[in-house]
Amino acid sequence: MKHTLISTLLLAPLVALSADEATSSAAPRDDTAWLRKKGTLIFQDTFNRPLDGNGIKAIGNGWESATADRAPNVKQADLDGGILKINSDGKTAGHGVHIHHNAGFADGGTTLRFRFPGLNKGESLTIGHVDREMKGVHAGHLCYANLYPTSILLRDNKTGISEEKMRARRAVFLARKEKLPPDFDALLQTKEKTVPWKADNEWHDLTLAFEGDEMRLIIDGKIVASHRSEGFAHPSKRWLSFSAANSVWISDVKIWKIK
């Protein structure tokens, strides 16, 4: 009995230490390296060219500014020294700027550099994917990462607030300025995740990666948010999309396809 007790006491800390060591030794996921090693580079842009007018295709290299025709006399996007400078005028256009480019992958992601230049209050960036060929989802909105001044939100739009039936049901309560029913609200909450974050006015590296039903957002090599939801596994993230409430700068965009 004494021998058994001593053996148990000796083994217990060893088991605990092994678990701690396994946790501490596990290297954080480097999604940027994963995309570069496993993926195929299907698009890149350094924005080193002049802007060609102020129309939908003025940015060039396959980009389209979907709100350019709503405010033809307002330059909501500019190219300057290899930087795409977005300056959304939602009041004039009636909609925040929406800039997109063909992508097309199931697993893969995007790498870029971004900066909030400090020209406006509450600067933000939304980056995500759209598939306008998809039925039953408003405007083909699939999924987005929303970077706000004090938080980051990851959202599965496909099976959440952009799914037509859910959107219609939600609109009824919003129109009446009523709270959503608890069960409906709880369901929508499973489609998104919010984490605290503090924005600044420096340049940062960003990676948005997709693997199966998981979306991960990496800033300066660190995973700042990740979430699993069935809509993230959509087989064709057809368009890469940027939108902003006002001003944000973007450079060195690369789109990678794993599958």
**Residue 188: predicted pLDDT:** 97
**Residue 28: predicted pLDDT:** 65
pLDDT tens series, the chain, 259 aa: 444 444 443 433 433 333 333 333 345 678 999 999 999 999 999 999 999 988 999 999 999 998 887 778 888 999 999 999 999 887 777 777 899 999 999 999 999 999 999 999 999 999 999 999 999 999 999 999 999 999 999 999 999 999 999 999 999 999 999 999 999 999 999 999 999 999 999 999 999 999 999 999 999 999 999 999 999 999 999 999 999 989 999 999 999 999 9
The answer to whether 202 and 115 are in contact (CB under 8 A) is yes
**Residue 67: predicted pLDDT:** 81
**Residue 114: predicted pLDDT:** 98
**Residue 240: predicted pLDDT:** 98
Can you say how many angstroms the Cα of residue 94 is from the centroid of all Cα atoms in its chain? 23
**Residue 27: predicted pLDDT:** 55
Collapsing DSSP to helix, strand or coil, 176 comes out as: coil
Reported as type and span, the H/E element at residue 109 is strand 108-115
- Per-residue b or e along 219-232, where b marks 16 or more CB atoms closer than 10 Å to that residue's CB: beeeebbbbbbebb
User: Structure pTM?
Assistant: 0.87
Q: Give, in order, the Cα–Cα distances in Å from 113 to each of 22, 82, 135, 145, 223.
A: 33, 11, 33, 15, 15
Domains and CATH numbers, the chain: 27-158+193-257 (2.60.120.200)
**Residue 68: predicted pLDDT:** 81
